[in-house]
């Protein structure tokens, strides 16, 4: 009796696997949406933010939300300690004497992390502030 149950189970599993194997398409979403050529933004479109760093957190002078296609400038002010900012997805680095200017081309929420080892690992790695780029 038990054996028959197992056989049935095995059969069901095999069918299940076969069914899964058949539908292979669409499982790899392509990120090939090429950033539509940055066309018509003028200097006045630049949105500027200043992020203030202290031990051990960042705060911004206003909500870090921009629309895709916007030119963004990020300044950093080290109020306490020595910190910098980076995000690899956006390809930006900001330090106190070198603001970052870039065009927001990807949408999503991006963590701007501290890029200067500024204390104990947990403090340093906990330093982040989120930049949101909307469609």
Chain positions contacting Cu ion, by CB under 5 A: 83, 114, 118, 127
Cβ at position 117, least distance to Cu ion in Å = 8
Give whole-number Cα distances, 4 to 11, 17, 86, in Å: 10, 20, 61
Beta carbons within 8 Å of 62's beta carbon, 6+ residues apart: 49
What DSSP element (H or E) covers 124?
A: helix 121-125
Cβ at position 90, least distance to Cu ion in Å = 18
CB of 49 or CB of 66, closer to Cu ion: 49
CB of 70 or CB of 99, closer to Cu ion: 99
CB of 94 or CB of 127, closer to Cu ion: 127
């Amino acid at each position: 009796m038990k054996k028959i149950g197992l056989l049935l189970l095995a059969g069901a599993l095999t069918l299940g696997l076969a069914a899964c194997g058949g539908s292979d398409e669409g499982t790899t979403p392509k990120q090939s949406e090429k950033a539509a050529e940055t066309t018509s933004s003028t200097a006045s479109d630049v949105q500027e933010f200043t992020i203030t760093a202290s031990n051990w957190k960042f705060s911004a002078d206003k909500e870090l939300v921009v629309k895709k296609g916007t030119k963004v400038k990020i300044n950093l002010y080290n109020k306490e300690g020595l910190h910098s900012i980076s995000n690899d997805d956006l390809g930006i680095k900001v330090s106190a004497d070198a603001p970052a200017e870039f065009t927001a081309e990807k949408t999503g929420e991006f963590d701007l992390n501290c890029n200067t080892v500024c204390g104990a690992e947990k403090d340093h790695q906990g330093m982040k502030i989120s930049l949101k780029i909307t469609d």
